[in-house]
Amino acid sequence: MLLIHCPYCDETLPEAEFTYAGQAHVIRPEDPSGQSDDQWQEFLFIRENPKGPHYERWRHFHGCGRFFNAVRDTVSDKFLTTYKAGAPRPDLSSLTEGLK
Amino acid sequence: MSQFRVAGKGRVDTGRPVTFTFDGKSYKGAQGDTVASALLANGVHLMGRSFKYHRPRGAVAAGSEEPNALIGTRRGKGRFEPNTRATVQEIWQGLETTSQNKYPSLKWDIGAVNDAAYMLFSAGFYYKTFMWPKNFWHKVYEPFIRAAAGLGVSPTEEDPDHYASRYLHCDVLIVGAGPSGLAAARAAAVDGLKVVLVDENAEVGGTLLSEPQAQIDGNPAWDWLAAEAAALKDLGVRIMTRTTAIGYYHQNMIGMVEKLTDHLPDLPTDTPRERMWRVRARQVVLAQGALEKPLVFHGNDRPGVMLAGSAQTYLNRYGVLVGKKPVVLTAHDSAWYAAFDLADAGARVQAIVDTRDTVRDDLLAGARERGIKVKLAHTATGTTGRLRVNSLRVNPVKGGTVGDGYTIACDAVLMSGGWTPSLHLFSHTKGSLAWDDDLTTFLPKDTPEDCVIAGASRGLWGIEAALNDGAAKGREVANALGRAPAELVYAVAADRPGTGITHKELPTDRSPGKAKAFVDYQNDVTAKDLRLAVREGMRSIEHVKRYTTNGMATDQGKMSNINGLNIAADALGKKQPQVGLTTFRPPYTPTSFGAFAGYHRGEHFEVTRKTQIDGWAEENGAVFEPVGQWRRAWYFPKAGEDMDAAVRRECVATRKSLGIFDASTLAKIEVKGPDAVEFMNRMYTNPWTKLAPGRCRYGLLCGDDGFIRDDGVIGRLSDDCFHVTTTTGGAARVLNMMEDYLQTEWPELDVWLTSTTEQWSTIALNGPNAAKLLAPLVEGVDLTDEAFPHMSCRTCTVAGMPARLFRISFTGEIGFEVNVPAPMGRKLWETLWEAGQQYDICAYGTETMHVLRAEKGYIIVGQDTDGTVTPYDAGMGWAVGKKKPDFVGMRGLTRPDLVAPGRKQLVGLLTDDQSKLEEGAQIVFDPNQPVPMKMVGHVTSSYHSDAAGRPIALALVEGGHDKMGGTVHIPMPDRTIAAKITSTVFVDPENARLKI
C-alpha cells in the first residue's frame, strides 16, 4: 500500500484514504461552446499514458476531501511529489534527479 | 519409541507422546513433531498421490516448500483444511489427518491408470486432447476435467474459527530467524530501534536447528541459539514465530500471517486462528535462506526419495532416521554431511553417489572413516519400488558417455542438486536479479524499497558467512536509521561451507522420451514435458511455464523453477538469463481465505445501512432487498401472498386511496452559499435562476460528455439554499463530482456542499387521500393546489416535528415527501400510519415504487439509462436549459455522434400477446433475418401493471421516437414476441391525478 502526502493536511497517509481522479492539468475550457468538435474530443477523451512520471489528480476522500495534484512514476508507482490544486506543474527534471 | 526415532537426537520431546491419526490409522509421535516427521518416525513415507498421474508420493522436503505431502487436517465440525503441508503441520493429541488425490485408498488408487496413460497427459494436453469433437466439450471433457481438477477437497461447512487483522509499525523488520536474521536483529537492536524478527517455523534458529554440531564463538549451536533468543528479547526485539511474511508491498509494507491455534490440542475460546499483520517497516532485512533443489532423473519422485538437507533436518531437529539403508545422490558438498550425520546416527549409508569427478579431500576422508562407498562421476537413471523406493540405478559417466548401470539396494535416496537462494519477497519489491554463472542461479541485485538481503538468500554458504553477513546488514539498516552500532564478528567451528555444480536433467543411458524425471512434483511436470514445450514453439519461460504448468502449483515452484529454467534454457540453446525467470507473486505460501477476510465476514462483511423506519418494516413482515449498502423494504406480503400478489395489492391501494413509503435512503445534498444558484446552473442541465424559493424542479445531471449521470427532485428552500436529492446508489458519486467541479474548475464560487442523507428521515405519502391525511397534521402550510401546488417545498411542522415538506410525486398520484430530523422518523411514520387507517393506508416497498413510476414513464438512472443515454434520448429535452451559457454536458450534447440520427431512444413497449417481457431482452426490427440478427435495443424495465390493465415495458430502441406505433420483435429462446412502440407514459398522461 502506497503512502501519499496530502498537501492540504500536510501529512503522509495510507493510500486507502485516497481516491484516484485521473490525469492532472486537463483544464476545462472557459467557453466550451466555442470549442470545435476536435478540441472537445481532445478535452474529454485524450489522455497521456506515459511510462514514467505522470501528472495526476488524487482526492483525500476519507480525510479533508480536497482534490490535489501529484507526480507519480508509473513504473515504480512511487509518488515523486504532491501539490495543491491550482499550483503550477513542478519541474520534472528536479524531481527525477532524486530517483538515482 | 518409534522404529525410526533416534535416541538422544532432535529437539522433540519423546517423553511427551502425542497420538494422531492418518487415514484413520493411529500413530504416535512426540511433542514437537510435524505430521511428516512423526509419520517418518513410524516408517511411513507414502503420504499422498500426485495430482495428474496419481503417483505415490512421500515427503521430499522438511519445510514449507514441500510439494508432495499435502494432507487434509480436521478438528471437528467445520474445521477441515485441505492441502496442509504435512511438513509444517505440528501434531497434537487427537489431530485427524487424511491423504488426498486417492480412491479408494492411498495404497490402491484407481486414478493411477493416468500414470500408465502418461503419453496422453504430456505438456499442453489440455489444449490438444480436448479440442475435438466439438460437442464432446460440454458432455464429456468438461465434467471429466472438473472432477479430476483441484488439489484436495474444499470444506463445505462454515468455518467456526475467527480471524484477526492488525497493523504494526517498526523500524526494522527481519524476515527469517536463521543465523543471518538473528545476527541482523542483534546488530540492529540498538538505541531504541524497534526491531521485529519473524519466522514461519515454530521456533527460531533456521539452519542452526539442523546443524547442532556447529560451535558459535565456542558455544554449541543450540546453546548459543537459546542464549541469543533470550538476549534479543531482553534487547526488546519482538520475535514472532509461526508467522509467515507472505508478501512485500509498496513502501515497505509487508503482509504477514501468524498462525495461533493450529498447533494446539485445545482451542482457546478467545484467540483467533490466524492473524493478518500489515507491517510498515522503515527498513527491511530479508534473511530467508536458501532452498535445496532436487536432482532430475527417472523415478526421482518415489516415496523415500527426498532432499538430503531435509533428511538431515529430520534427523537433527526431529530425531528421525528417514531410512536405515539410505543412498546419497548429490551434486553438492552439503549432502555429504547429511550422509555423515545419518551414518553417525546408525544408518548404513549404502553409498555416496556424486555426479562430480572430484570432491574435496576432507569429504572423501569422512566417507572413508565411516566405511561409506563413494561413487564419483556417476549419474542416476532410475529407481524401483512400488510404494517406497527399494533401489537406485546408477551409471558411471565418462567423457559425456553414460556407462552400464547397476543398482544399489536402499530404503531412501537422499538427493541434492544444490541450493537456490529464496528470492520470493525480494522479487515482490520489483527487485532486479542478476544471473551468477558460478552458482548457476539468480542473485538479488537492486530494489526500489528500503530493503537489504542477507545470508544464504544472496548466495552465501555456511553458518559463519551467514552470521557475519547478517550482522553487517543489520548494521547497515541501523546506519540508515541514524544509529551507529558496533561491528559484530562471529567465529564458527565445525561449520559446513560447500560448493557444488548444477545440472539440467541427469544424463541417462535409456530413452529420455520415456523418462519420468520430475521437475515440478506437485503438478507432475517432467523434463520431457519442458523439452516438448520448447519443441512445440514456446520460447519464453513464461510460455513454457503456462504450457507445462511448471511452477504453477501451490508451492509456486520453490523447488522446480531453477531446474525448469536450466532445462528450458538447454533446450533453447540459450543462457538462463536470456530465457528469464518467471515472476514470484504473493503469497509466499498458501494462505487461508480466513486470514485475508479477517473481520470482514458474516454480518461484518459489509456495512448494512438501515433507516430509522427499518425496524417497523421488519416488525410488519417486510421482505428486504439490498440497494447500495442500504437494506430497503422490497414489499410487505400478507399471509399467503407471493411477491406478485403483494406488489399488485400495494399498487392498487396506493392508486385507490393512500400508500406510505420509506424514502429515507434517497440521497440528499445541501447546496448552500451566495453562489448556490450559479453553481446549480452550471452543474445541472436545467435552469435554476427563475426557480422561486419554495418551488421544486426535476433536475438532470450530465457528464461533460453529454450523458445522463443522475437525476432527482431539487427544492429551493431559500435564495441561497437548495435541497438536492440524488438516486440512492449515486449519492457519493454525485457529491464527488460536484466537489470536483467546485474545487478545481470553479474555486471562485462561494458554495458549500454537505451530504445530509443521514440527517433526515423521509416518508413519501402518495394517493388520492394523501393531502387529506396530511393536512390536519401540518402547521404553517395550507395543503391546497393554490397555496402549495405540485412541485412545492416548505419548511414547516408536521405532527409537531420540524419538517421540510415537499409536494412531489414519483407515482403520478398526489404526493408528499416529509423530511423530519432522522431520529423522529419512526415516530412520524407511526403517527401517519395510525391516522391513515381511516384511508386504508398501505405500506409499500421498492418494487411497488418501481411499478408505479414505470406506469408514469419516470426513469431510473442506471436501469433505463446505461451511461450512453442523453437527456434527448430519454425524451427529456424539456429538462435542458437552452438559454444558459454553459452547464456540464452542454457542449457534449452537440457532439456529432450525439446529434446523429439512429440513436437508441427511450420508448414504451406493449406486447401484442399481453405477455410480460424480460428486462434485458434484446430487440430486433426484422425477426426473419438470419442469425446473428442486428440488435437495435433492449428492454430496460418491465412490469405487470394493474393501472394499465396489462404488462408494460420501457425500452431503448434505435430511432424509437420516430417509430411510435411501429412494431419491434423480441426473440426469446422459445418464441419471438412482437411489441408496439408507444409513449413511455401508460397512466394518466394528462397528469390529472396530481390535482387535489
Instruction: Write down the ipTM of this complex.
Output: 0.96
Q: Quick count: other Cβ atoms within 10 Å of Cβ B129?
A: 13
Residue B125 in contact with residue B532, Cβ under 8 Å? no
pLDDT of residue B108: 74
By CA distance, what is B746's nearest residue in A? A28
A44/B278 touch (CB, cutoff 8 Å), yes or no: no
Is residue B278 scored above 70 in pLDDT?
yes
Q: Average pLDDT in the B246-265 region?
A: 96
Determine which of B140-144, B316-320, B515-519, B532-536 has the lowest per-residue pLDDT on average.
Answer: B140-144
Kindly give the pairing relationship between strand B433-436 and strand B441-444: antiparallel
A59/B736 touch (CB, cutoff 8 Å), yes or no: yes
pLDDT of residue B155: 83
B891/A33 touch (CB, cutoff 8 Å), yes or no: yes
pLDDT of residue B89: 97
pLDDT of residue B133: 62
pLDDT of residue A100: 42
Is residue B120 scored above 80 in pLDDT?
no
pLDDT of residue B150: 61
> Is A40 at the interface with chain B, CB within 8 A?
yes
Residue B86 to residue B40: CA distance in whole angstroms = 11
Structure confidence at residue B447 as a pLDDT band (50, 70, 90): very high
- Best probe of the A interface among B607, B888, B891, by most A CBs < 10 A, is B891
Residue B405 to residue B264: CA distance in whole angstroms = 50
Residue B550 carries which DSSP code? Answer: T
B740/A67 touch (CB, cutoff 8 Å), yes or no: yes
Q: Taking the C-alpha atoms of B872, B877, B881 and B886 in order, what is their torsion angle to the nearest 10 degrees?
A: 10
* The C-alpha cell that represents B670 in the structure block: 445541501
* The C-alpha cell that represents B786 in the structure block: 393554490
Tens digit of each residue's pLDDT (9 = 90 or more) over B858-874: 999 999 999 999 999 99
Residue B752 to residue B64: CA distance in whole angstroms = 57
Min Cα–Cα distance to chain B from A91, Å: 21
Residues B433-469 as b or e (16 or more Cβ within 10 Å = b)? bebeeebbbbbbeebbbebbbbbbbbbbbbbbbbbbb
Domain ranges of chain B: 1-157, 163-290+421-493, 901-994
Angle between helices B221-234 and B179-188 (to 10 degrees): 30
A40/B891 touch (CB, cutoff 8 Å), yes or no: yes
Residue from the list B448, B743, B744 with its beta carbon closest to the beta carbon of A76: B448
pLDDT of residue B135: 65
Residue B477 to residue B470: CA distance in whole angstroms = 11
**Architecture, CATH, for domain A3-28+35-97:** 2-Layer Sandwich (3.30)
Domain B901-994: what homologous superfamily? Aminomethyltransferase beta-barrel domains (2.40.30.110)
Residue B60 in contact with residue B306, Cβ under 8 Å? yes
- Note the residue count of chain A: 100
Give the burial class of B601: count Cβ atoms within 10 A of its Cβ; 0-12 exposed, 13-18 middle, 19 or more buried. Answer: middle
Min Cα–Cα distance to chain B from A59, Å: 9
Tens digit of each residue's pLDDT (9 = 90 or more) over B414-438: 999 999 999 999 999 999 999 998 8
Residues B858-875 as b or e (16 or more Cβ within 10 Å = b)? bbbbeebbeeebbbbbbb
> Is A36 at the interface with chain B, CB within 8 A?
no
Of B38, B37, B3, the C-alpha closest to B19 is: B38
> Is A46 at the interface with chain B, CB within 8 A?
no
- Determine the 3-state secondary structure of A20 from DSSP: strand
**Between vectors from CA B242 to CA B284 and to CA B218, what angle results, nearest 5°?**
75
CA distances B437 to B4, B427, B454, B566, Å, are 40, 20, 20, 12
Tens digit of each residue's pLDDT (9 = 90 or more) over B623-648: 999 998 899 999 999 999 999 999 99
Structure confidence at residue B49 as a pLDDT band (50, 70, 90): confident
Min Cα–Cα distance to chain B from A25, Å: 10
As a whole number of angstroms, the longest Cα–Cα distance in chain B is 115
Residue from the list A15, A32, A43 with its beta carbon closest to the beta carbon of B890: A32
**The pTM of the whole model exceeds 0.90:** no
> Is A50 at the interface with chain B, CB within 8 A?
no
Residue B667 in contact with residue B734, Cβ under 8 Å? yes
Tens digit of each residue's pLDDT (9 = 90 or more) over B738-771: 999 999 999 999 999 999 999 999 999 999 999 9
Structure confidence at residue B893 as a pLDDT band (50, 70, 90): very high
Identify the CATH assignment for B1-157 out of 3.90.550.10, 3.40.50.2300, 3.90.1150.10, 3.10.20.440. Answer: 3.10.20.440
pLDDT > 70: what percent of chain B? 96
* The C-alpha cell that represents B430 in the structure block: 520489483
Q: Taking the C-alpha atoms of B940, B946, B951 and B957 in order, what is their torsion angle to the nearest 10 degrees?
A: -40
Residues B478-503 as b or e (16 or more Cβ within 10 Å = b)? beeeebebeebebebeebbebebebb
B885/A57 touch (CB, cutoff 8 Å), yes or no: no
Residue type, B259: K
Residue from the list A3, A21, A65 with its beta carbon closest to the beta carbon of B251: A3
Is residue B143 scored above 70 in pLDDT?
no
Structure confidence at residue B555 as a pLDDT band (50, 70, 90): confident
pLDDT of residue B1: 61
Of B457, B450, B443, the C-alpha closest to B179 is: B457
B744/A57 touch (CB, cutoff 8 Å), yes or no: yes
Residue B141 carries which DSSP code? Answer: I
Give the burial class of B26: count Cβ atoms within 10 A of its Cβ; 0-12 exposed, 13-18 middle, 19 or more buried. Answer: exposed
A32/B891 touch (CB, cutoff 8 Å), yes or no: yes
pLDDT > 90: what percent of chain B? 86
Q: Average pLDDT in the B953-972 region?
A: 97
A37/B249 touch (CB, cutoff 8 Å), yes or no: no
Spell out the alpha helix ranges (H) of B639-762. Answer: 643-656, 676-683, 731-740
> Is A37 at the interface with chain B, CB within 8 A?
yes
By CA distance, what is A19's nearest residue in B? B736
Spell out the alpha helix ranges (H) of B454-496. Answer: 463-480
A-B interface: how many C-beta pairs under 8 angstroms? Answer: 56
Residue B353 to residue B336: CA distance in whole angstroms = 10
| Chain B residues with CB-CB distance to A21 below 8 A | 740
> Is A31 at the interface with chain B, CB within 8 A?
yes
Q: Which uninterrupted H or E stretch holds A41?
A: helix A37-45
The separation between CA B125 and the C-alpha centre of its own chain, rounded to angstroms, equals 28
- Note every long-range contact of B445-451, with CB atoms under 8 Å and residues 24 or more positions apart, other chains counting: B448/A76, B448/A78, B449/B248, B449/B251, B449/B252, B449/B284, B450/B252, B450/B282, B450/B283, B450/B284, B450/B480, B451/B248, B451/B252, B451/B283, B451/B284, B451/B285, B451/B286, B451/B426
Q: Average pLDDT in the B830-836 region?
A: 98
| Chain B residues with CB-CB distance to A66 below 8 A | 743
Structure confidence at residue B580 as a pLDDT band (50, 70, 90): confident
Residue B65 to residue B37: CA distance in whole angstroms = 15
Q: Average pLDDT in the B130-155 region?
A: 64
By CA distance, what is A22's nearest residue in B? B740
Tens digit of each residue's pLDDT (9 = 90 or more) over B199-247: 999 999 999 999 999 999 999 999 999 999 999 999 999 999 999 999 9
Residue B767 in contact with residue B816, Cβ under 8 Å? no
Residues B912-934 as b or e (16 or more Cβ within 10 Å = b)? eeeebbeeebbbbbeeeeeeebe
| Chain B residues with CB-CB distance to A1 below 8 A | 249-251, 253, 278
> What is the third-level CATH fold of B163-290+421-493?
FAD/NAD(P)-binding domain (3.50.50)
Structure confidence at residue B121 as a pLDDT band (50, 70, 90): low
pLDDT of residue B730: 87
Is residue B136 scored above 80 in pLDDT?
no
B743/A85 touch (CB, cutoff 8 Å), yes or no: yes
- Note the residue count of chain B: 996
By CA distance, what is B247's nearest residue in A? A1
Residue B664 in contact with residue B610, Cβ under 8 Å? no
Q: Average pLDDT in the B501-505 region?
A: 93
Residue B314 in contact with residue B399, Cβ under 8 Å? no
Q: For B290, how many CA atoms within 13 A lie in the half-sphere containing its CB?
A: 27
Tens digit of each residue's pLDDT (9 = 90 or more) over B661-711: 999 999 999 999 999 999 999 999 999 999 999 999 999 999 999 999 999
Q: Which residue has the cell 429462446?
A: B973
Residue B645: phi and psi, rounded to 5, are -65, -40
Please give the mean pLDDT across all residues of chain B.
94
Residue B331 to residue B312: CA distance in whole angstroms = 16
